[in-house]
Amino acid sequence: MQKRDPLFASVMRVCAPLLVWAAHFFFCYAYVAAGCASSAVLGVTTVLALSACCGLLWLSWRSRIGKGSLLDLGAFLASVLSFIAITWSTLPLIFMAACRSA
Amino acid sequence: MTNAMKSTASLPATPSSLPRPPGELEQLTRIWKTPKGFRFLTSVNNTNIGLLYIGTALLFFVLAGVLALLLRVQLAVPDNTFLSPAVYNQLFTMHGTVMMFLFAIPVVEAIAVYLLPGMLGARDLPFPRLSAYAFWAYFFGGLGFFCSIFAGLAPDGGWFMYPPLTGKEFSPGLNADFWLLGIGFIEISAIAGAIELIVGILFTRAHGMTLGKMPVYAWSMLVVAVMIVFAFPAVIAGTTLLELERAFDWPFFIAARGGDPILWQHLFWFFGHPEVYIIFLPAAGMVSTMIPSIAGTPLVGRKAITVALVVVGFFSFALWAHHMFTAGLGPLEAGLISAASMAVAIPTAIQVFGWIATLWRGKVTWGSPALFLMGFMFIFVLGGLTGVMVAVVPFDWQVHDTYFIVAHLHYVLIGGMVFPVFAGLYYWLPLIKGQAMSEAWGRWVFGLMFAGFNIAFFPMHLTGMLGMPRRVYTYGADMGWSGLNMLSTIGAFVFAAGVVLYFIDLVRTLRKPSRPIGNPWHAATMEWLPNEDYATRSIPQVTSADPLWDQPGLAEQVEAGQHWLPGTRTGLRETILTTPIAAKPMYVMVLPGDSWLPFIAALGTAGFFLLLTIQWNLVATLCGIAAIVSIIMWLWESDRAPLQTEVEIGDGVMLPVGMTGPRSHSWWGTGIMMVVDLTIFASLLFAFIHISMRLNICPPPGAHLPNAFWQYSSIALLLGSSALMEFARRTLVDQHTVWLRCVTVLALACIVGGFAVVMLGQQSAGLDPTAHAWSATIAAMLAYQGFHVFILAIIGIYLFLRSWDGKLRGRNRGSFDNSALIWHGSVLQGVIGTLAVSLLPQWMGA
């Protein structure tokens, strides 16, 4: 069954970009809530998360050509939406001071 | 199995040939027959349980609606004395609680339990007795909880029960305890339903119904069930902590002793916000199923809509703190949550545009379901837009806790869930007796509900903007809110008139005689195939996402028995389990039959929790024992291997009967339960970390860390216990039964020893849970570990007895595999908890 029906791998294809979004979001939230956050750390995390999304987007775009199964579209659309959501969460990080005492 | 897979690869036009042998249908009918009279209570067939479940949920909808009308009467005029402030508090708390916990979540699970077997082409979902247990627990628990209102004991702290108001100091009565114990345990019933749905949707789909061809409704329920698994544990942990605080004075939420009321808000809303989507996504799934039927055209952007469901499921977990913008979060935290709250609008909009495009492309049949769907779109979109407004932090600060929020949440919940559910009730009602509800009445019902809703709730946006706060029992005539409030009250009664009319028509329709069901909406989904107690005569072979449109003659073939498993092969209830992605047959699962055990277990569980609240401890204990004994008897019966090892499911196609290990449904059910369990533990761990982070010095003054020797000895014993179980599972189960029993007892001794050692360590360090919230969070984790040791002791004895009875080998080894999974999960949290208690203070001190 594992070879014929790779549930975990298929689920991960669609969920990987969403997990990147989740990791970025919860890391930023916890890091900011825990104390005086450094803008550099938040910046590097965001660049890493966006790069990962771009990578996954590129992979899904490449495998999507000529196909159109639900999982292919899922991997593609999830990457796009995660990219938008991460960019969106980055806006407050850019425009608001990470550390109020700074 | 390999042979079976090969032979199913080249499919004939229909898998089973005619004529069918004589007596096949009669045997199938006899085995699945629903018991009559009072023995109906023993029925576990999901179709029957689903109907009872929907009926009970609608009962709670009406009861909570009556409470709302009483509230509206009180608010109709200024300075009204119709209700006293204390009664008003109980009524609005019960209205919110009953609507959310006893109507909204149960009704969406209930509809799924009823519809999914048909839609997926299964004879039944894989754990029918679990569904029956979940339903009866909800039924008894819910009614018992509701009755607290007649004794003046109903909770009165608001549906989200914020401490310190709900702590012992400000709520000394039993009212809050009813909420915490009653609701805490009804959540367990929701989780049981979620496990059933996940395993059912992944493994019981008809042959050929790949994930891509699965109905969007099933997708929505899959996403929702996974969300329940991760969201509900947070509130279970929260309610447990608050009840521990009230019962034993462990000060988790008492700021003066190091606790933090905000901790409750985090735990509650980490459940509470996904909860909104847990209610909305099933409705969205129903909408995606009904719209193609009433528009007569396939769903536009079906795949994109499916992906959007998954994405909404993810994003909804990042929105919890938008209920806490005024609780003193930092501006950056609030900014992050605000951004996520707006981001979730994108995947939601994908669905809305898909629905509009489908209606645009097709030719709409303007029946009652279509009217309710239009009402849903109008109201829900408005609710969504005010949602984006309150996601803007400064705006939220202005309208927080005002009637603007009351308007917003009712637009989202009534628009996003009640209207689609009513559309669904009209749409699917013919499945029961073939009788549709009256169209003429339907227009009146819709008109009254739609107009009443908007007259009641639209003015609340304005009363909110004018500053009227939520949860006040009255207001002065000089405030300028009188006219708007009167309008809202009139609207509420108009809405209620629509609901009354609906129920009159429902009763009228259900009293009519049965007639052939057919496919009245020309729907594409398989719940409209000819259906009896045994579901469809044969399990269809699916080749399309819209099987009833693209596979002509399917209904006739299925009814004639030309598809898979056209009878029963083992002489018992059975269904085919398929692979989760490609839906290829894996094995035939024997389903349990009707039984009193789930009913008794549920009655015992409800009795235990409710009677514990009013401190009838002896009777409560007896109820608890009755529940445990009946659950053990039920488990004992469940793991039985039928005589056959392989059966024929179609012409010459053989499948194994039953399965053990990671391919089996029971292994998955246990695994999901362990994910829930670990998430509850993670919530307790979060409480510990949250409280620790608020300290200046960790451990706080007066508290001490135990000696590392105790901690690491305990970890070693726990890991040893897990290793013994794994060794037994891999090498001893099938052959060396005497050794198996010895090793199981040894493993149990190790885990009990590990727990005893960690407790001794804490005792020597002088752990006092009442002294400080930090100590209380450690004690909570220890208590949770102790609860697991208690469960493992029962499991250990159970395994010992089963092995003694020769029922733990070969095809019966499932009990041992699943127990090992529970064992490892319990050890994992013991180890993480002990490490966290040792390492976090060191890390914070560094």
Judge whether B426 and B368 are in contact, CB under 8 Å.
yes
Above 50 in pLDDT, residue A2?
no
Which residue in A14, A68, A92 is closest to B310 by CB distance?
A14
Given the DSSP bridges, would you call strands B646-650 and B585-590 parallel, antiparallel or unpaired?
unpaired
| Residue B77 CB burial class (10 angstroms; 0-12, 13-18, ≥19) | middle
B266-281 pLDDT per residue, tens = 999 999 999 999 999 9
Task: Tell me the domains of chain B and their CATH numbers.
Answer: 688-845 (1.20.120.80)
How close, in Å, is residue A55 to chain B by CA atoms?
19
Q: Please compute the mean of the pLDDT values over residues B34-60 and round it to a whole number.
A: 94
B328: left (phi over 0), alpha (psi -120 to 50) or beta: left
B285-324 pLDDT per residue, tens = 999 999 999 999 999 999 999 999 999 999 999 989 889 9
Q: Please compute the mean of the pLDDT values over residues B659-672 and round it to a whole number.
A: 90
User: pLDDT grade, residue B846 (50/70/90)?
Assistant: low
User: pLDDT grade, residue B341 (50/70/90)?
Assistant: confident
Residues from chain A that touch B840, judged by Cβ atoms under 8 A, are none
DSSP string of B120-155? HT-SS-S-HHHHHHHHHHHHHHHHHHHHGGGGT---
Judge whether B410 and B464 are in contact, CB under 8 Å.
no
Confidence at residue B675, expressed as pLDDT on a 0 to 100 scale: 97
User: pLDDT grade, residue B188 (50/70/90)?
Assistant: confident
- B16 has a chain A CB within 8 A of its CB: no
Above 50 in pLDDT, residue B8?
no
- Tokens 């108009």 sit on residue: B494
User: What's the 3-state SS for B40-78?
Assistant: HHHCCCHHHHHHHHHHHHHHHHHHHHHHHHHHHHHHHCC
Q: Please compute the mean of the pLDDT values over residues B755-761 and round it to a whole number.
A: 96
Range 310-329 of B in CB contact (< 8 A) with A: 310-311, 314-315, 317-318, 329
Q: What is the ipTM of this complex?
A: 0.92
Q: Which of B569, B564, B556 is nearest to B538 (CA)?
A: B564
d(CA B810, CA B660): 9
Above 50 in pLDDT, residue B3?
no
A44-71 pLDDT per residue, tens = 999 999 999 999 999 888 876 556 788 8
Above 90 in pLDDT, residue B456?
yes
Q: Taking CA atoms, what residue in B is nearest to A71?
A: B212
Residues from chain A that touch B663, judged by Cβ atoms under 8 A, are 1
B694-746 pLDDT per residue, tens = 888 889 988 999 999 999 999 999 999 999 999 999 988 877 788 899 999 99
Q: Which of B240, B267, B254 is nearest to B324 (CA)?
A: B267
Helix (H) or strand (E) holding B235: helix B216-248
> Mean pLDDT, chain B, as a whole number?
93
Give the pair of three-digit tokens for residue B679: 């998430």
Confidence at residue A100, expressed as pLDDT on a 0 to 100 scale: 54
Judge whether B436 and B505 are in contact, CB under 8 Å.
no
Confidence at residue A8, expressed as pLDDT on a 0 to 100 scale: 87
Given the DSSP bridges, would you call strands B646-650 and B653-656 parallel, antiparallel or unpaired?
antiparallel
d(CA B606, CA B623): 8
User: pLDDT grade, residue B410 (50/70/90)?
Assistant: very high
User: pLDDT grade, residue B204 (50/70/90)?
Assistant: very high
Which segment of B228-232, B349-353, B581-585, B610-614 scores lowest on mean pLDDT? B610-614
Confidence at residue B4, expressed as pLDDT on a 0 to 100 scale: 43
Torsion of CA B189, B192, B197, B198, to 10 degrees: 140
d(CA B68, CA B457): 12
How close, in Å, is residue A86 to chain B by CA atoms?
9
- Tokens 């569904």 sit on residue: B131
Q: Please compute the mean of the pLDDT values over residues B216-242 and round it to a whole number.
A: 96
Return the top range by mean pLDDT from B14-18, B320-324, B478-482, B607-611: B478-482
Torsion angles phi and psi, residue B735, rounded to 5: -115, -50
Above 50 in pLDDT, residue B114?
yes
- A38 has a chain B CB within 8 A of its CB: no
Give the pair of three-digit tokens for residue B381: 């979109």
Say if the Cβ atoms of B582 and A4 lie within 8 Å: yes
Confidence at residue A65, expressed as pLDDT on a 0 to 100 scale: 59
| Residue B571 CB burial class (10 angstroms; 0-12, 13-18, ≥19) | middle
Which residue in A5, A78, A88 is closest to B342 by CB distance?
A88
Confidence at residue A4, expressed as pLDDT on a 0 to 100 scale: 61
- Report CA B192 to chain centroid distance, whole Å: 7
- B228 has a chain A CB within 8 A of its CB: no
Q: Taking CA atoms, what residue in B is nearest to A20?
A: B314
Which segment of B239-243, B282-286, B387-391, B778-782 scores lowest on mean pLDDT? B387-391
- Secondary structure class of B548 (helix, strand, coil): helix
Say if the Cβ atoms of B332 and A32 lie within 8 Å: yes
Q: Which of B224, B240, B391, B400 is nearest to B313 (CA)?
A: B224
- Tokens 């007596």 sit on residue: B23
Residues from chain B that touch A69, judged by Cβ atoms under 8 A, are 212
Above 50 in pLDDT, residue B366?
yes
Greatest alpha-carbon span in chain A: 56
Range 684-713 of B in CB contact (< 8 A) with A: 693
B506: left (phi over 0), alpha (psi -120 to 50) or beta: alpha
Q: Taking CA atoms, what residue in B is nearest to A88?
A: B339
Q: Please compute the mean of the pLDDT values over residues A84-101 and round it to a whole number.
A: 79
d(CA B101, CA B107): 10
User: pLDDT grade, residue B467 (50/70/90)?
Assistant: very high
Beta-strand ranges (E) seen in B453-607 are 574-578, 585-590
Confidence at residue A66, expressed as pLDDT on a 0 to 100 scale: 56
Give the pair of three-digit tokens for residue A10: 């298929």
